[in-house]
Structure 1
């Protein structure tokens, strides 16, 4: 064990490099060694080039000696394998992309490089990022860092697994319906889905903007410490002139919370989701109590609902599958029909859905926008919204999430809590709160659009009061002393 709290934050490493007590090369070499040990258990790495990464670290050290003071100089950052890194493959877990090599960086990767960061490696995803179980025919299955019989979640499951194993320092994931928040919740780490439009998806494969979900997908930071989410977000945020949904919007620093009482609305269950596990309810109650004890105003509210024939989950998937799966089939045509069984079932289900006319699709979008407006109005009445991330902790591989019938593995209503904020386009973070049967359980913090500062401020308070990544490390069975 390494003392409970785990390895230092990215901010601490950057300070050490700035003071000259650690070089970028030493840091990168140490992280790569930790990845070697961790990946033997979690199987989360799909591409790495150690020689190139170490050479980049040596260049960072030389740049620092010459006076370079870029904010992320020498910091290794892992990248989800749906975002382009120049000269590296981007496979999204599909045999259709075997042999593909990117010829430029995704916008967020380019921004990280410009700030001095070093892309470290690529991490595993479900085929086409389309599952909460990270497994595919190209790279295989990733495992939970604390229990190999369980999933680290998805679709940013490789990122969650390596962070949860205390191997990597920070990473970049994507979140459409919960793909940052669920792995963070399962693996005892922290992750932020930014506001819709806060970050560009340029260089993401497959691109989503011309698909049925249009602006749902967000690129966001994942880490072990909340302060590192705050460190990365300003670097990757802002319009790039390519992604039509990415905008420049003010991004405030998380405020000190002693100045005024926040208005906190919370709910621990949802009529459109399975009954949460006892630990999930305890997690929300613990977060509410911590905020109340800190002097904030807490109010239990009725869980927000879409209404009509849809839940947030069914609305999300209705939009995603409005073309009957034609876009997904085109994207993976080169795989020649060789797909992971779960992804094949998704394709088959989409193909078997009724044909959606243009008018029906526009009516569907009207429902999306109407719910988004109502959810944003609710968020505007409060400073933050507190809820579960999912109905329970990480399930075993191939098993349905907590509360979902065993024969209904492909049903996603256990993630209704995530889909509510995704469809609404709100910023939302997951932070560890308690443990249940030897597994971490997180809580979800959301706020009004473009108020990531409030999300991160509350996440930092809960991390401090409830334990944060220390909960994960107390559950872990192995670890090394810091460098």
Structure 2
């Protein structure tokens, strides 16, 4: 199944929606086609944790009989991340140790998808506790990249990237606290949009983040096109994106930014994207981003302050059996692990990176708050950034965690992580015209803006998409 570009051979959700409204396709036909593709690819890709075949077909038939074809997502088959609550389903976070959470009602984002006419055909795989760039866990196994099964699909919304990238799902919805939508989108050759933290209601999604990283987390779509991303986002947000009042804007070109790329095709795609905007009424403005390296080094401090204690509590099940890192290391060496290796890596660095006092936490949080205010003001209503989504193409299994969790400033990941801690809406766009000659994999380019400037972001993203594909 290596090196297939499914995303170019399958119509996007907007095209499918048009066909269903015209009557050339029924909702049942569209849903059945996607379920059949999912059945063919699941054994190799393992993107889904649950598949709702009969329920989805029944919903599609009901839509064909009595549904309103003007519903914004009428009949579109989609998937949602396993950490989104669904009535009658458990949230396991991919963990064998955590007590599963049973839910009696849908998360708000799931409710809105159903209300808009979407048909949920599957839930998708994640890394354990949704905290690494490789979607593998002991409960559901490893998700493989649909473009090359020997490579990672990304994380933490890796199952979504794999399902959309394989053509099994017309679109998916995931969450993103350190690139968890855009990493899978980049690796699987699809579009991924992370809104700002207040863009989509998180009620009923796991985990509930109340600490300093709550403004890092966004919920958004993974799709086959930029227009699909805007379509789905306008359903799940309270702040739909309209067309921009005027075309053009400021293309902010950062200097002093610690950025590194492994493949030349990424640089070529980036240059083409920026040139396209400069030819379309955008003007270039160079600005300093010299503190990005320092901020990058502090990311683990706030992540671990918010989550480390929670992780240990969830791993200590049943109650009274406290999780022991030493015992887990022994179990891993014996080939009998109880947690995924990626989560283990986070737990191993915790003693060295976690802040020692509340005063230190407050000082670090203040630095991020000041940077967020500064850069959001710099971008304003018409400024955008164009950066590589990642400085690498999808690596082989095991390499992503090793690269992303090693200490030091890593220019491969500085671009996408900035979108989280600065709370910037960010969209990743595949560049199929610039695919790597050695692997056939596409690079990915991201557009970022300040909250409130999403119309400008989508304008720029559509322009870039037309050049890169």
Q: Is 2:12 aligned against 1:9? A: yes
| CA-CA distance at 1:14 after TM superposition | 1.7
Q: Show CA shifts across 1:145-172 (max 9, x none).
A: 1111110111111111121112211110
Whole-Å Cα distance in 1 between the matches of residues 117 and 84 of structure 2? Answer: 18
Correspondence 1:287 to 2:287: no
Q: Structure 2 matches for 1:95-134, cutoff 5 A?
A: 95-97=96-98, 100-134=101-135
CA contact (8 A) 1:265 1:299 kept: yes
Q: Does 1:465 align with 2:467?
A: yes
SS at match of 2:412: helix
2:215 is paired with a residue of what secondary structure? coil
Q: 2:419 aligns with which of 418, 421, 435?
A: 421
User: 1:134 and 1:3 mapped to 2: Cα distance?
Assistant: 20
Deviation at 1:381, TM superposition (A): 7.7
Gap change, CA 1:139 and 1:457, over 3 Å in 2: same
> The residue matched to 2:146 in structure 1 has which SS?
coil
Where do residues 20-419 of structure 1 align in structure 2 (5 Å cutoff)? Answer: 20-64=23-67, 69-97=70-98, 100-208=101-209, 210-238=210-238, 250-255=239-244, 260-267=247-254, 270-271=257-258, 273-306=259-292, 310-311=294-295, 313-322=296-305, 325-334=308-317, 337=323, 338-353=338-353, 356-380=356-380, 382-400=382-400, 404=403, 408=406, 414-419=412-417
Extract unaligned runs of 5+ from structure 2: 324-337
Specify whether residues 2 and 194 from structure 1 end up closer, same or farther in structure 2 by C-alpha distance, changes over 3 A only: closer
Quick one: distance in 1 between partners of 2:314 and 2:289? 37
CA change 1:104–1:401 in 2 (3 A) is closer
Instruction: Using the TM superposition, give the Cα deviation of residue 374 of structure 1 relative to its aligned residue in structure 2, in angstroms.
Output: 1.4
Change (3 A) 1:234 1:400: closer
Alpha-carbon shift at residue 133 of structure 1 (Å): 0.9
**TM-score normalised to structure 2 length:** 0.88
Structure 1 length normalisation: TM-score? 0.85
Cα pair distance change 1:137/1:401, threshold 3 Å? closer
d(CA) in 1 for partners of 2:94 and 2:5?
A: 33
1:97 to partner: Cα distance: 4.8
Residue 80 of structure 1 contacts residue 172 of structure 1 at CA under 8 Å; is this kept in 2? yes
Distance 1:6 1:136 in 2: 30
Distance (Å, rounded) in 1 between the aligned partners of 2:139 and 2:153: 18
Deviations along 1:315-362, one digit per CA (max 9) or x if unpaired, are 322111125710121233338752112202212322454553222222
Q: Answer yes or no: is the 8 Å Cα contact 1:90–1:97 preserved in 2.
A: no
Judge conservation of contact 1:181–1:192 (CA < 8 Å) in 2.
yes
* Distance apart, 1:176 and its partner CA: 0.6
* 1:36-70 deviation digits (Å, cap 9, x = unpaired): 12222211110112111111112212222xx5632
Which whole-Å CA distance do the structure 2 matches of 1:6 and 1:334 have between them? 46
Cα RMSD over matched residues? 2.6
Write the distance in 1 (CA, Å) between the matches of 2:132 and 2:451. Answer: 26
Distance of 2:287 and 2:37 partners within structure 1: 44
Indicate the SS of the match to 2:144: coil
Q: CA deviation at 1:116?
A: 1.6
- The residue that corresponds to 2:458 in the other structure is 456
CA displacement at 1:99 relative to structure 2: 5.4
Q: Secondary structure, in 3 states, of the residue corresponding to 2:174? A: strand
- What's the counterpart of residue 428 of structure 2? 430
Give the direction of change, closer, same or farther, for the CA distance of 1:138–1:72 in structure 2 (3 Å limit).
Answer: same
Contact 1:265 1:298 (8 Å CA) reproduced: yes
CA contact (8 A) 1:324 1:350 kept: no
Deviations 1:394-423 (A, max 9, x none): 111112589x59x94998653111111211
| Cα distance in structure 2, aligned partners of 1:116 and 1:262 | 35
- Alignment partners' CA distance in 1, 2:182 and 2:226: 13
Instruction: Summarize deviations over 1:69-109 as a string: whole Å, max 9, x none.
Output: 32222221100111111122322211135654321111100
Q: Is the 8 A contact 1:178 1:422 kept in 2?
A: yes
CA distance in 1, matches of 2:55, 2:186: 32
